[in-house]
Structure 1
Amino acid sequence: MYTHKHVRVDAFRKLKNSEGRFKEWVSRDRQGLLSLYEAAHLAFNGEDILDEALIFATKNLKSPSIIQHNTNPNSFQKQIDFALRFPAWKCVPRSLARHSIDFYSEDTSQNQKLLMFAKMDFNMVQNLHQQELYEISGWWRSFDLATNFPFARERLVESYYWNVCVYFEPKYRLARIINTKIYRTLSILDDTCDNFATYEELQALSEAIERF
């Protein structure tokens, strides 16, 4: 049975020669090498060729010769340094977009309209996130939870940012707000159980939660 995994692996085999080594032109394709590096991070268990691709791409990206003959050596070096520290799959999409805009702004072959729309999109979504956090902060203050539970950690922004990582598309506004409130409430319960309540109080709290 020919699976999607085979298709993935075969695509990378085309980059190798008859001796099983990556072809020489691959190491000279600067942008392609960076793409190979990012793609190799998505390997499934057992896809050895992608593990080899990651080692190969990392070694070549760290080579001083990689930026030679590049029209934007400083900009490309910044992209490489960032990618080696923060592979795309480990980054929050919206934060990654911010860095990508900076890199693209320094590209002499940039498309001005594309860059303009990228900045507009980022600013509009950022404004949306700020509005959502303002709404959640109002909910938090209305219950005066900070006064009633002074022992609890202040993790409102942290809880919201976690949801931005998961529900990063703008249309999931309601999911971000609801889940932030849920996580914040669970965080208070966690701090109550770990740092504040006595055993007897925890029994009463557990019974109340079960009834709820």
Structure 2
Amino acid sequence: MPDDDQSLSEQRAQGATLLHAPPQPLTLRINGAEHNLTIEPRVTLLDALREVLGLTGTKKGCDRGQCGACTVLVDGQRINACLTLAMMHDGREITTVEGLGEQGQPHPMQQAFMDCDGFQCGYCTPGQVCSAVALLDEVKARQASMLTEGDQLAPGALSEDEIRERMSGNLCRCGAYPNIVKAIHSVVLRQA
């Protein structure tokens, strides 16, 4: 019930003001470079990358953590950038698809995707590549999956089923899965 001295619209305006969080300073370390920002605490890492910093390699697909198009690496671990706030990663090392290779020298996984035709429309490819790079590190660290125990993984022994299981958080609407698996498997075999 509105206070007699204050109209309902004034009360709503006051409530909206209370819900607004002022921009906060943070430092994001992205692809080896520090970016000092001042952003609202509710900005997702995905929006900070794309809208604030112009790093558009990371894609916004579902914006609900279901498709994996926004996959980036934070301290070497893959995450969905749409599900986390930028403020949560102050000072942490973030790697996007732009930071995997160098000019004229793509990351081996990026090259494998090109060599094996691991994409069609390409929209999911940045997330797929980042996830595949993390997959290789997980296997090296002998991290178990639903299919194999950590001690069962030997260099070069990663099966196509294991790759599919570990990449299950990244969707491809075009259905390029056979070539994505082939690309990842080719890198696994080269590293064995």
Do these two structures clear the TM 0.5 threshold for a shared fold by scoring above it? no
- Give the TM interval when normalised to the shorter protein: under 0.3
More strand as a share of residues: 2
What TM-score comes out, normalization by structure 1 length?
0.23
More helix by share: 1
TM-score by length of 2: 0.24
User: RCO (CA 8 Å, sep 6+): is it higher in 1 or 2?
Assistant: 2
